[in-house]
């Protein structure tokens, strides 16, 4: 007799031990139908839209549709697991059925807590930016909701801490461009969810962009030592620690001394060698009027043609032996003899490529 149910070798349900005994762990902790805050009165919806004349059942259907859109757009329930590692499955086997998608991985790994870590913040922001550019329509409805919930926490953190506003502005710019294209070409591309929800999300993004534009970082009044009080060689060493050209330029605008140091050709030469290969230098060589290499101009020329080297404090890691994706500090149950040799750091682009089948 053929076996038609779930494979008996699958992991099965997750259970937690309580005082009353073992209970099955519920991943979806909140039921939208029981949330009194999200309930709308049908009569109020009809009264607020008296300009639209509905008769009988037509009014009731329209009101129910509005109620559903309101709940889907305003609920803060996050439909995701919070697991330390996930198994990246690309095909069905006798032991496991189905495969792991990008949306499922985004839901199950704890990105919501990762943004609170200084070393992981830039990594998560870059991943959200890459998803916004090309993978937004590949996310399921639950993954989209989780995506915007994580994004909202990032915006709140930036507005409170007043740090990294430039990264978030670039992310919101790419996201708004993608949403404008999807809304304008609705029907030509696959768009998961109601069009009204996407319009509301675009309006929210525009509000966030306005809030970041109005962000004013107050000048710190202190009588202690400042960067201008440091010796010249120490100020120069600080500039050499930067790997982003925008940071060097912005710091150079602080004082005339820092501006002079930020124009040092040896500084830009080191920056070019950090991000690009020597073969690329020969293809786009830029000379000054005196016949010397203009390293600063060559850096901005090279970044138009080649990607810059990415550098993150902490990243996700992938185990080649177990096919498991995890944060390194949490670890995973590896069965290899030498687990350290099986680990591969996963860049944001590599994370997306893992789920392209």
Query: What would the DSSP string read from start to end of 285-334?
Result: --B-TTSSB-HHHHHHHHTTTSPPPP--SS-EEEETTTTEEEETTT----
Task: Specify the pLDDT at position 32.
Answer: 41
Cα–Cα distance list, 272 to 63, 221, 323 (Å): 60, 36, 35
What average pLDDT does the structure give for the chain? 78
Q: Over 60: is that where the pLDDT of 156 sits?
A: yes
Q: What is the DSSP string of 14-69?
A: -EEEETTEEEEPPS----GGG-GGG---HHHHHHHTTTS---THHHHHHHHHHHHH
Residue 37 — pLDDT band, cuts 50, 70, 90?
A: very low
What pLDDT, on the 0 to 100 scale, is given for residue 96? 59
Radius of gyration of the chain (CA): 26
In this model, does residue 4 exceed pLDDT 70? no
Judged against a pLDDT cut of 70, whether residue 304 lies above it is answered with yes
With cut-offs at 50, 70 and 90, classify the pLDDT of residue 94: low
Write down the residue that tokens 């494979």 correspond to. 7
pLDDT tens by residue, 38-74: 444 444 444 444 444 444 444 455 555 555 554 555 5
Minimum mean pLDDT range among 143-152, 184-193, 214-223: 184-193
CA distances from 181 to 136, 198, 235 (A): 12, 11, 45
Specify the higher pLDDT residue, 271 or 311: 271
Q: Mean pLDDT throughout 235-260?
A: 91
Among 105, 224, 244, which Cα is nearest to 170's? 244
The answer on pLDDT for 328 being more than 70 is yes
pLDDT above 80: residue 5:
no
- 153 or 82, which is more confident? 153
Q: What is the pLDDT of residue 83?
A: 73
Q: What is the 3-state secondary structure (H, E, C) of 169-216?
A: HHHHHHHHHHHHHHHHCECCECCCCCHHHHHHHHHHHHHHHHHHHCCC
Q: Nearest to residue 160, comparing CAs of 125, 211, 195, 110? A: 211
pLDDT in tens, 116-139: 888 899 999 999 999 999 888 888
Q: What is the pLDDT of residues 103-121, one digit of tens each?
A: 888 888 888 888 988 889 9
Work out the pLDDT band at 1, boundaries 50, 70, 90.
very low
Q: What pLDDT was estimated at residue 217?
A: 76
The answer, yes or no, to whether residue 215 has pLDDT greater than 80, is yes
pTM of the entire predicted model: 0.70
Say how far apart CA 141 and CA 252 lie, in whole Å. 45
Task: State residue 101's pLDDT score.
Answer: 83
Question: pLDDT category, 95, cuts 50, 70, 90?
Answer: low
Mean pLDDT of 141-158: 91
pLDDT of residue 38: 43
Report the C-alpha gap between 84 and 14 in whole angstroms. Answer: 14
Taking alpha carbons only, the member of 276, 318, 316 closest to residue 300 is 276
Residues 6+ apart with CB under 8 A from 187: none
- Ranking 164-178, 183-197, 280-294 by mean pLDDT, the lowest is 183-197
């Amino acid at each position: 007799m053929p076996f038609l149910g779930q494979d008996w070798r699958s992991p099965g349900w997750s259970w937690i031990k309580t005082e009353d005994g073992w209970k099955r762990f519920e991943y979806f902790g909140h039921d939208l139908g029981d949330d009194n805050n999200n309930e709308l009165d049908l009569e109020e919806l009809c009264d607020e839209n008296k300009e639209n004349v509905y008769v009988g059942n037509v009014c009731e259907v329209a009101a129910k549709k509005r109620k559903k859109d309101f709940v889907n757009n305003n609920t803060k329930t996050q439909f995701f697991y919070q697991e330390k590692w996930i198994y990246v499955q690309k095909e069905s086997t006798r032991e496991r059925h189905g495969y792991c998608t990008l949306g499922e991985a985004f839901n199950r790994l704890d990105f919501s807590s990762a943004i609170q870590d200084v070393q992981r913040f830039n990594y998560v922001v870059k991943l959200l930016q890459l998803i916004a550019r090309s993978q937004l329509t590949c996310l399921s409805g639950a993954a989209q909701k989780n995506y915007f919930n994580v994004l909202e926490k990032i915006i709140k953190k930036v507005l409170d801490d007043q740090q990294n506003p430039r990264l978030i502005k670039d992310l919101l710019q790419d996201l708004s461009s993608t949403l404008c294209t999807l809304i304008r070409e609705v029907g030509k591309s696959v768009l998961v969810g109601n069009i009204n929800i996407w319009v509301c999300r675009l309006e929210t993004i525009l509000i966030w962009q306005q809030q970041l534009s109005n962000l004013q970082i107050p000048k710190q009044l202190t009588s202690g030592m400042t960067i201008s009080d440091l010796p010249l060689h120490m100020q120069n060493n600080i500039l050499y620690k930067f790997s982003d050209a925008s940071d060097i330029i912005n710091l150079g605008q602080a004082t005339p001394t820092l501006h002079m140091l930020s124009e040092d050709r040896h500084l830009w030469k080191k920056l070019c060698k950090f991000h690009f290969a020597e073969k690329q230098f020969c293809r786009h060589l830029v000379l000054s009027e005196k016949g010397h290499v203009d390293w600063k101009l060559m850096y901005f020329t090279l970044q138009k043609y080649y990607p810059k080297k990415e550098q993150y404090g902490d990243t996700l890691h992938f185990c080649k032996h177990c096919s498991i994706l995890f944060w390194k500090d949490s670890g995973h149950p590896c069965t290899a003899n030498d687990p350290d040799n099986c680990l591969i750091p996963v860049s944001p682009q590599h994370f997306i490529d893992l789920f392209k089948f």
